[in-house]
Amino acid sequence: MNKDIANLIVQIARIRNVDVTYVCETLRSSIVAGLRRRFGSDTEADAEITPETGDIRVYLAKKVVNQVGQPGREISVADAQAVSPGAQAGDMVRVELPLDELGRIAIRKASDELMLKLREAERTKLFDEFSKKKGEIVTGTIQKIGREEVIVNLGLIEAVLHNREQLKADHYRQGLPLKAYVHRVEKTALGPRVFLSRTHPEFLKKLLVREVPEIREGVVEVKGIARSPGFRSKVAVASLDEKVDPVGACVGYRKSRIENIIKELSGEKLDIVQWSKDPQVFIARALGPAKASEVIKEGDSYIVVVPDADFSIAIGKKGQNVWLASLLADAKIEVLKESDYRNRQVMARASTIGLDRIGFEQPLLGRFQAAGINSAFDLLNAPAETLVGVTELPADAVDPLRQEVRDAIWRGGDSRVQFRPVLPEPSVVAAEPSPDQTDPTPSDTPEPTPTEDPAPPPSVEEPAS
């Protein structure tokens, strides 16, 4: 029977995923608690359990008395001397109690308390185990698909993947494996509760660590991640070795490394950006695939000038590209077309440039001043009707005039605007021929007689001799 108890202790420890020593200690404390419930809370009880042999010995500390009133706490002198020959009245003797005298109720309560403590120990151990896995990627099996969450079996515990932590392009099927990032572990009355995520930026970072040996070895460092889960992400990387290209290391040979990550992210686009300590250079790279012509710092923000053709690429769908670049660079970014930036600069300079510097002649300057137009800024903002009245140009020539003024301001205001009033040309109407000037008819004009070539002179034959 003792061997059976030893096997049972080992089996319980294996099932509950706890140590054998902990099972023995829990059983000992449960037996002691059962003895105290039976004989009184102040009973001095103890138990010894040997896991190798399965021996269980229960002891009670009893007081030696001449007349026993409380069997659970007192022992007669004769019985005490059988245990300890030198025992006298008033002494305390440690007496072994047969297991049969524990009672069925005490054994059942001890068993219930043992299971309760083992469950608590199992929960605590699982909580400690998964608390260590917080911030790591785990692989589980999809067990249940609900409306608001997906239950993932991690072996000893079930984890939760909420809808907000799922990628839009993910397709789940019961029984398929799933990789996710452990971002939170909570301790509840029913055991530890593990929360997974596939949208967390650290999930992407851990995938890069798994896929790129240079990051795992510390040669390439991930400086930052900006992510729009399921759509697009930007990763800033830097190399600690000048001989290693950080972007090429992450992309891999024939894009093998980055394609594995994109596949795991259900097709999410991924931009690898080389980090730079110069914020203007870094911002220009972060706006890729658009090409930045110039990056200008204005206060706490940055203005990025891009070619007109690249403006939509720099902004991205619903502003996604510039938003991710702003998050990655931790800066406020404003994107302008080259034409818009030029117009902004022109309008800023126009208020300080007089019309005489642009090249208008004096009589026309007086007419401009009379109309309240004293600077290039006033001219560019004046209504078209006013400019038509002052310059006597046709309405369709006003915009070309303004463009010439803008070009002169952009060149610094030193160029001269060649002002030439464009007057409408008179329409030319073909005159009708008079009756006296009618073309002669073919019949009235004699046809020239062709001259014939003169006939050649007749040949003279020589007489035969």
CA angle 322, 328, 332 (to 5 degrees): 55
| CATH 1.10.150 segments of the chain | 351-410
CB atoms near residue 234 (< 10 Å)? 24
The correct CATH number of 2-126 out of 3.30.1050.10, 3.20.20.70, 3.30.1480.10, 3.40.50.1950 is: 3.30.1480.10
- Considering the domain 135-197, what is its CATH architecture? Beta Barrel (2.40)
| CATH 3.30.1480.10 segments of the chain | 2-126
Band of pLDDT at residue 107, cut at 50, 70 and 90: low
197 has a pLDDT exceeding 50? yes
349 has a pLDDT exceeding 60? yes
Under 8 Å CB-to-CB from 177, ≥6 apart: which residues? 139, 140, 141, 142
Band of pLDDT at residue 438, cut at 50, 70 and 90: very low
Indicate the average pLDDT of the chain.
Answer: 80
User: Higher confidence at residue 217 or residue 355?
Assistant: 217
435 has a pLDDT exceeding 60? no
Distance CA 204, CA 214 (A): 16
| CATH 2.40.50.140 segments of the chain | 135-197
CATH code linked to domain 351-410:
1.10.150
Quick one: tokens of 406? 């803008």
Distance CA 375, CA 380 (A): 9
| CATH 3.30.300.20 segments of the chain | 213-268, 276-338
- Considering the domain 213-268, what is its CATH architecture? 2-Layer Sandwich (3.30)
Homologous superfamily (CATH) of 276-338 is K homology (KH) domain (3.30.300.20)
Spatial contact of 387 and 355, defined as CB atoms under 8 Å apart: no
